[in-house]
């Protein structure tokens, strides 16, 4: 059943903002969003708690059941799921992992016009992995066969056209650990040349020096999008966009913008300030982030590119309120244009 494409910022309904604009959030099910996009009475007795350690501190997160995604999609057209970043969908012997079963449950509660963006497991795109408090070389880095068998094929089988984007996120690399951009470009060329062709691939590089001509040439060759991410150690969004020559590289005519953390603020600090994610935090939300996001939205629409804007609680305290600001600003500028 198709959902109503409503645009009413006061009630956090932004599905109907524009056909080429899909605003959503990074993860969902936060009890801090009750009274915003979730109806409190609907989840009485269904809220669970989990402990989450961040930066040496323990935080309690209150979570709604997966079924709440039905109400989520009344407000948003797309959802980014990041639990897939931490584990494959299938084990190497083909057995489904817990992530497979959770993703299947999400699929059961989605409507025909609802979409998901998935983060590709970090094992595929991280040069090093943190294990038992230290970093080790990742033997599966850029392994096309494992990506195809253990993630891409089961994700496609589960979601079909509801899978609207795949994000390959590479970790920030300190200067002494970096490879020359030309070498990274060669490695990415081999990887994207070996995996199934698809126009839903997007790469987020969190090391500014890798936002370079040889890397962008490889992304363009394979039709892979550049994720524009408002994140700790990356330059502002429009500067990232300028580094690629202002070109939206994805062959499917799609662009992903991720509003993750304030610039210069580490993950653990942003998390601590934003928790429990129920309200905006004073002086945390960067007005320039909102301004540049809207500029990118208008650019995408002018070029007939589908743009996905994904908002994280850590960008200012509460993702629905940030999403509403972005949507209102875009609607106002379009009306006044």
Ordered by where they begin, the domains of the chain are: 9-336 (3.20.20.410)
Q: What DSSP string runs through 211-268?
A: SSHHHHHHHHHHTPEEPEEE-TTSPPHHHHHHHTTS----TTSEEEEEE-S-TT--HH
Q: Which residues of 237-273 are buried (b: 16+ CB within 10 A; e: fewer)?
A: bbebbebbeeebbbbbbbbbbbbbbbbebeeebbbeb
- pLDDT-derived band at 336 (thresholds 50, 70, 90) equals confident
Residue-level pLDDT at 334: 87
Q: Confidence band (pLDDT; 50, 70, 90) for 337?
A: low
Q: Where are the beta strands (DSSP E) in the chain?
A: 21-26, 48-54, 57-63, 78-81, 115-119, 128-131, 134-137, 163-170, 201-205, 225-226, 228-230, 254-259, 306-311
| Cα gap 211→200, rounded to integer Å | 20
What integer is the mean pLDDT of 66-94? Answer: 97
Report the b/e string of 63-81 with b at 16+ CB within 10 A. Answer: bbeeebbebbbbbbbbbbb
**How confident is the model at residue 52, as a pLDDT?**
87
Q: Which pTM does this prediction carry? A: 0.96
Q: Is the Cβ–Cβ distance between 331 and 10 less than 8 Å?
A: no
pLDDT 10s digits, 152-206: 999 999 999 999 999 999 999 988 889 999 999 999 999 999 999 999 999 999 9
């Amino acid at each position: 059943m198709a959902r109503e494409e409503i645009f009413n910022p006061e009630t956090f309904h932004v599905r109907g903002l524009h056909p080429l604009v899909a605003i959503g959030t990074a993860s969902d099910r936060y009890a801090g969003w009750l009274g915003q996009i979730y109806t409190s009475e609907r989840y009485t007795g269904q809220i669970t708690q989990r402990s989450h350690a961040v930066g040496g501190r323990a935080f309690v997160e209150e979570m709604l059941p997966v079924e709440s995604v039905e109400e989520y999609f009344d407000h948003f057209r797309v959802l980014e799921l990041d639990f897939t970043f931490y584990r494959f969908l299938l084990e190497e012997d083909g057995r489904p992992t817990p992530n497979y079963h959770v993703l299947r449950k999400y699929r059961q509660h989605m409507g025909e016009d609802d979409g998901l963006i998935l983060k590709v497991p970090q094992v595929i795109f991280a040069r090093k992995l943190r294990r038992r408090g230290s970093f080790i070389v990742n033997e599966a880095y850029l392994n096309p066969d494992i990506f195809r068998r253990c993630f891409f094929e089961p994700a496609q089988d589960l979601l079909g056209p509801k899978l609207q984007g795949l994000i390959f996120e590479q970790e920030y690399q300190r200067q002494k650990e970096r490879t020359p951009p030309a070498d990274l470009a060669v490695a990415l060329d081999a990887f994207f040349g070996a995996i199934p062709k698809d126009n839903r691939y997007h790469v987020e590089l969190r090391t500014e020096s890798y936002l370079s001509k040889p890397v962008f040439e490889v992304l363009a060759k394979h039709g892979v999008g550049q994720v524009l991410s408002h994140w700790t150690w990356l330059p502002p969004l429009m500067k990232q966009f300028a580094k690629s020559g202002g070109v939206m590289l994805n062959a499917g005519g799609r662009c992903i913008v991720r509003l993750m953390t304030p610039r210069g603020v580490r993950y653990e600090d942003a998390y601590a300030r934003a928790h429990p994610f129920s309200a905006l935090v004073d002086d945390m939300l960067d007005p320039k982030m909102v301004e540049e996001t809207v500029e990118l939205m208008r650019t995408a629409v002018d070029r007939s590119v589908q743009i996905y804007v994904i908002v994280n609680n850590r960008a200012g305290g509460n993702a629905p309120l940030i999403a509403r600001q972005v949507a209102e600003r875009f609607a106002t500028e379009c009306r006044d244009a």
